[in-house]
Amino acid sequence: MFGYNVKTLTQFIIERQADFPYATGEFTRLLYHVGVAAKLVNKKVNKAGLVDILGEAGNINVQGEEQKKLDLLANWQFVQALKNSRECCGVASEEDQEIITWDDELSRDGNYIFCMDPLDGSSNIDVNVSIGTIFSIYRRISPRGTKPTIEDFLQPGNKQVAAGYVVYGSSTMLVYTTGRGVYGFTLDPSIGEFCLSHLNIQTPENGKIYSVNEANYHQFPEGVKKYIDYCKESDKETNRPYSSRYIGSLVADFHRNLLKGGIFLYPKTQSAPKGKLRLIYECNPIAFLAEQAGGAATDGTKRILDIKPESLHQRVPFFVGSKNMINKLHEFL
């Protein structure tokens, strides 16, 4: 598939270790374990229809959403991998009410905080549509050797040292950034390795795709309505109308727009006045990736990465994509 000059995720991370002179291999080991967890979750996703991991788990998560069996499995798989890495001292997950910490001394000495949505787009699981994992990594601010505190997890997105996502689709891809460009790795099932397939991803400054759940149009703020109407208008000079593409999985929608150019909109609504997407687990990591690829992300008034989180499961309006499309949106807002 990739020929003989393949570069694996592990090789790439080791080569880039010099980007983090303070890490002395810790960060490299942490990212390695993230890749291992992604491969294990991918195996479960690929045989979801053959084993008893489809359907509801019978639980409600902290967001008030019905948990899927695969949600819980993915959450457990990543938590175990992070614990085994010994470089992560605490985890915050969309599926858990409180932060996860461990009592052993090695874990308390870990230097990194990990935040994740273990299985984004889980409403698509049962119908075989692309889903994903979103993650974000911070250096802890509490003293090493102690248990992390909630303040470690409430850092603004501009403090991230890495962020990424895994999209489980027709092929499985891991895309990540450490603040020095965005790189994509495609899983080669013949060797069981993520292999470098997308070098230094740059998203187009303009796009022809807008992604939004238009069923909520009448609940959107007036500025958002006007922008959507603008996207639908015919104008040869600006290549409109744009194409409407909405999957309902943030990872899948963002991944398409990242590569092809476009804008993703999840504004506040009358029924969700603070927005619906989670700042820490979804918006911050996706915003970091977007900016590193030359795009932009905002809550409609300010840069996503500059927002100081007030709570673990805080929600915000979210607009992300090609820079010129975001700028045009702001004219309407």
Distances (CA, A) of 156 to 94, 128, 162: 17, 34, 13
Binding-site positions? 94, 117, 119-123, 213, 246, 276, 282
Residues annotated in a binding site for Mg(2+):
94, 117, 119-120, 282
Asked whether the beta carbons of 90 and 103 are under 8 A apart, the reply is: no
The bridge status of strand 318-321 relative to strand 296-298 is: antiparallel
What residues are designated binding site for substrate? Answer: 120-123, 213, 246, 276
Measured between alpha carbons, how far is 207 from 257 in angstroms, rounded to an integer?
8
* 82 phi and psi angles, rounded to 5 deg: -70, -40
Which segments within the chain are labelled E, that is strand? Answer: 56-60, 66-68, 88-93, 100-101, 112-120, 131-139, 160-168, 172-177, 182-188, 193-198, 209-211, 243-244, 263-266, 277-278, 296-298, 315-316, 318-321
